[in-house]
Amino acid sequence: MMQNYSLDTKLKLTKEELLQIDMILKKESKRTTVEERTINAHKENYTENAHSVPVYKQGYFRIEAQSCEIDQSIRTSQTAKALDTYWDATKFDSIHAPVSIGKVENKALFQQLGQPRCSHLPVKFAGSNDFKIPNEYSNFKEVLTKIISTETTLNPNLNEYYAYLTVDQRFVPKGNSQRIKGAHVDGIPRNREHPSTQLIDHSYLVCDSLPTKFYPQSYPQMKKCDLLKHNFFSVFDHFKDESSSFVVEPFLIYLMNAYSVHSATNSETDLIRTFLRLEFSTLKFDREGNSKNPYFNYDWSPRQCHTPKHLVFPDFLL
């Protein structure tokens, strides 16, 4: 259901967004409520998975990497057991379902609007366990503390990993998705020629609505596929079993890894969605369009990164 956010108290927009809204409103001939006009303005400017370049000026807060007690079922799950291991396509023979590691206690704080969108913002660098998170995201401190504590407990080599924060909080029109549609995984090896030399990426994610859909099934076809030739996502999409799929619960925090096949879902109504992901990887996420953290001293030359166009669906699977 569409949530009743009050424009003057909750919907904090930038000056540029307000100017865009004002221009659109002037073109409207009929009289509507303030909230309806705001939604219409967002619809006019909506783009799926849009990039943005946030600027941080409020300082940062730290979260100390401390271990915690976690349920044994989390430790023994296929998803957690695969952490800090090298890429192996035969792992798709097993089911790597998302594992809930906790929940959001303060839902109102988590849903607080006005935070800038960021994509793969580095909040921890390899060689250190120092997490520096811009104060603009202080309302997510509860969630991030739970994630970092769980990661510290499960990953004995956390020091070797980078941590990247993605926050996506915006209007999603009916019939659209906020994130990437189609069955896929997060963490296809960058080195497609020698993928087994890369430790797999893994992530923690949580949202307040329009939850992610997962396909907890085996994909034995993958061990026959070649990352240099074949489009893995097309194989996932072809063999996904909708009857075994499920969507995760809002406000629960989930761990997934590079073998957890999932997809965004389309909204059945107009809504404002808050999505957060903290991803751990041994790689530099220096892709063009990724957010920059001014509280670390680094200078990565941004590189263009696209799925190779020559990749095809393997004909031997038809």
Q: Dump pLDDT digits (tens) for 33-66.
A: 444 544 444 444 445 555 667 999 999 999 999 9
Are 203 and 279 within 8 A, CB to CB?
yes
**Strand pairing category for 202-207 and 271-281:** antiparallel
Question: Distances in Å between the alpha carbon of 54 and those of 7, 293, 294?
Answer: 22, 9, 11
- Do both 117 and 38 map to the same domain? no
Per-residue pLDDT band for 9 (boundaries 50, 70, 90) equals very low
- Do both 29 and 176 map to the same domain? no
Structure tokens, 160: 């070797």
For the stretch 62-120, pLDDT in tens is 999 999 999 999 999 999 999 999 999 999 999 999 999 999 999 999 999 889 999 99
Q: Does residue 5 form part of some domain?
A: no
- Do both 19 and 153 map to the same domain? no
Number of structural domains (the chain) is 2
Question: Distances in Å between the alpha carbon of 312 and those of 1, 254, 270?
Answer: 39, 31, 35
Q: What is the mean pLDDT of the chain?
A: 87
- Do both 285 and 173 map to the same domain? yes
Domain containing 20: what range? Answer: 14-45
Task: Identify the CATH number of the domain in which residue 251 sits.
Answer: 2.60.120
- Do both 173 and 101 map to the same domain? yes
**Whole-number pLDDT of residue 137:** 98
- Do both 246 and 310 map to the same domain? yes
Q: How much is the average pLDDT of 194-206?
A: 97
**Whole-number pLDDT of residue 50:** 58
Helix count and strand count (H, E) for the chain: 7, 11
**Whole-number pLDDT of residue 22:** 57
Q: Does residue 2 form part of some domain?
A: no
Per-residue pLDDT band for 15 (boundaries 50, 70, 90) equals low
- Do both 27 and 111 map to the same domain? no
**Whole-number pLDDT of residue 284:** 95
**Whole-number pLDDT of residue 28:** 42
Q: Does residue 142 form part of some domain?
A: yes
- Do both 29 and 96 map to the same domain? no
Q: Does residue 204 form part of some domain?
A: yes
Find where tokens 């594992």 sit.
99
Q: Does residue 185 form part of some domain?
A: yes
- Do both 40 and 56 map to the same domain? no
- Do both 59 and 40 map to the same domain? no
- Do both 188 and 275 map to the same domain? yes
**Partners of 162 in beta bridges:** 281
For the stretch 245-283, pLDDT in tens is 999 999 999 999 999 999 999 888 998 999 999 999 999
- Do both 22 and 138 map to the same domain? no
